[in-house]
Amino acid sequence: MSTSSVAKANQPPPTERSTGWWLAAAVAAYVFWPGSVPKFFFLGVGLWLACRVVRAQARPVACAGFATALFATTFLLTPVCASRALRLPGATEAASPLVQLALLVFGGLWVRAAAVGAPPLLARVAALRGRVVCLWTLLLMGVCFLPWMADIAYGGDEHYHLKALVVSHLLDLELLGHGWFIALGLAWLGAGIWLATRRASDEPSPSSSPEGNRLRLRAVGIWAAVGLALAACAPWLYPAAVLEDAFNQDRMLRYPGSQPWLSAWLWEFARDNAGSGVLFGFEVLRFSSVFAVFVLGLVFVQESRWRTAAPVLSLLGALAVAMVPTVHYHSTLLYLELALIPLLVLLVRDGRRWLLASPARLAGTNAWWAALAVGFLKDTGIIAVGLLWLARAVVRGAFLTRRGEWSFAALLAEARVAFVTLGPGVLYLLLRAMHGSRPYQPHLENFLATEVWAQATRGVLEQFGFLWLPALAGAWLLMRRRACWQLIVAGVLFGGMWLFHLVEEPRWVGLARFNLLLLPAVLVLAWEGLGALLHRRTVALVALLLLLGGNAWLSPVDRAGQRAIWGGSGERWYDYTDCLEHLRKLKPDARLAIANLSHSYGIGMTLQRLDWWADLANLPVADPADAPATLRAALEMAARGNFDFVIFRWDGTPPIAADHRHAGYVRLRDFPSRGGTLTAFARGPGATPLPAR
């Protein structure tokens, strides 16, 4: 064979090269496109193109890089070793080298055990038709568009989850200030790309030796270890003031770090003025939540029955899932739980393999990768995987006992499964407990409270909407086929997480955000029920349209994009942006006071978003039960403080006169919304009241 023919054989085919160029174009468009929401289209299509570019021989490199990124972001880039609770007595350094070294060794062992084989999901997503992926992305952007850009709510926990993102963002800015570290990081990524393309060019042949394969796998392992070692240097690049800051200390172990770091990177690449500290837009901060729903749709439509069905049926099915009331409500909020749903769906869908497969046959499957990744995204994901691992331990133990196959080797193999799927999660929970983050406090008396059981039942019935109908049909079909293993996994996940949250503080029982962990079991059963209709296209079309319409009717998000007070949460959305933009036009150097708010984070982040660094004070609430009395006290206090405007929050319609005046302030304008009303008051006799919108 000539040299030229060998070179051509090692080159990727023309279609693959063109896909690579399309991927590069999607990345460039994500970075440079001027609008924020359109960037999501390039993000979604870019994921599909990446699955097509990464060929089978290169996927081990991609999977090793993924496992490395998971561990590095949670334990190494996040300065866990700087926790005050982990320092040795008498230590003077902010970051502990001993703790970081222990984490590095643990991470190296974990990545080596975890990164074996690539999930079949990658090849199946790559096989999807491009028009299906593009249309699914556009449909999802359409149903999310209006609530996507809503201001941060008053009440609720979105701001607390955003704090984790902000910490990662601040740490990222510190790393960007060290050029050598960024250069080494880019070199490490370049080495991974070279290694992947080198593996992809090594087409399998009868002459391929086992020794050559071992050398290539060893090179991938060394590359992953170098990445972990580089990430382990990060805490010594952060200033001591950053590590000692009370805000950063509070947040560094509050949630696992992988998802906040991903959101921060999406934010950095999407901003016009990277590094200035001004938010690009709330919609960009919420990309990871919408992205989770996008991936959930791909997980469903890549299944063989749906992949071969008419595209309109696949798209309607994915859209019906996106419009499930709790999914539609949370898809445009930065709540970390939503990212768990696609992975847990994969795990439940592959329930038989998860329970029965030997460790060797389980490694590298969809269930394997889903189980090991869940714990890095949210602490409650560790509980979910722990429950499913217990189910596997019981079933596998009974299986091996009945067949008389127990041995030290079998026990060691099962221990590896536990180490890969639960090891990092248990380590995180241990470090978090030592750090002193909010502990889980069970209220066992809830088991005897019938009103708590009723509250929990009401929550799942309301939040999952009409999804229960195909889910019941799917459960019946599985029982009819005697597919008991998948039902066991679904039942363990649903029942275990139900009981876990049932003994929470009673006011949080039935909270929609907590019930998201119950959703994967119901989704898998519903998808089974809907899939049985695909051979009858007209029946399937009618059923999907009815499901879509019913879920849209029950959605807590109205046609104007405003969310209801829903799901057991106290979140209320106000038009902070419109209010502040109006006041800035009237007086750009104004001093602002806000009143009847127990915290200012919603309006505070909106000021940052608008790049208006106004002097803002949060006035104390005089009487939580008497809003008019609180208003009078707030206006009097604002007059003494010489504030130009007072923004008062109401839970409903303001119970005051249209020309209300007090303490030198006049009612200027109302900004009503579904959650309540903001009323702006202006100081001085020259202030002219304006009509409400």
Q: In this predicted model, what pLDDT tens digit does every residue of 556-573 receive, in sequence order? A: 988 777 888 888 887 888
Asked if 632 contacts 654 with a C-beta cutoff of 8 angstroms, the reply is: no
pLDDT at position 16: 62
- Tell me which residue of 441, 435, 513 sits closest to 251, measured CA to CA: 435
Residue 275, pLDDT score: 41
Paired tokens of 333? 């909020």
d(CA 253, CA 436): 9
DSSP category for residue 74:
I
Looking at residue 213, its pLDDT comes to 67
pTM of the full predicted structure? 0.91
Backbone angles phi, psi at 238, to 5 degrees: -85, 135
| Residue 686 pLDDT | 52
Q: Give the per-residue pLDDT at 212.
A: 60
Q: What is the pLDDT of residue 56?
A: 64
Residue 312, pLDDT score: 94
Class of residue 522 by CB neighbours under 10 A (exposed 0-12, middle 13-18, buried 19+): buried
pLDDT score at 214: 73
Q: How far apart are alpha carbons 630 and 656 in whole angstroms?
A: 12
pLDDT of residue 598: 79
Structural tokens at position 238? 């952060």
Let me know: does 663 contact 639? Beta carbons within 8 Å: yes
Whole-angstrom distance, CA of residue 499 vs CA of residue 492:
10
Instruction: List, for the chain, all residue ranges whose pLDDT scores fall below the cut of 70.
Output: 1-17, 56-57, 90-92, 199-213, 271-280, 685-693
The pLDDT value given to residue 77: 93
Question: What confidence score (pLDDT) does residue 2 get?
Answer: 40
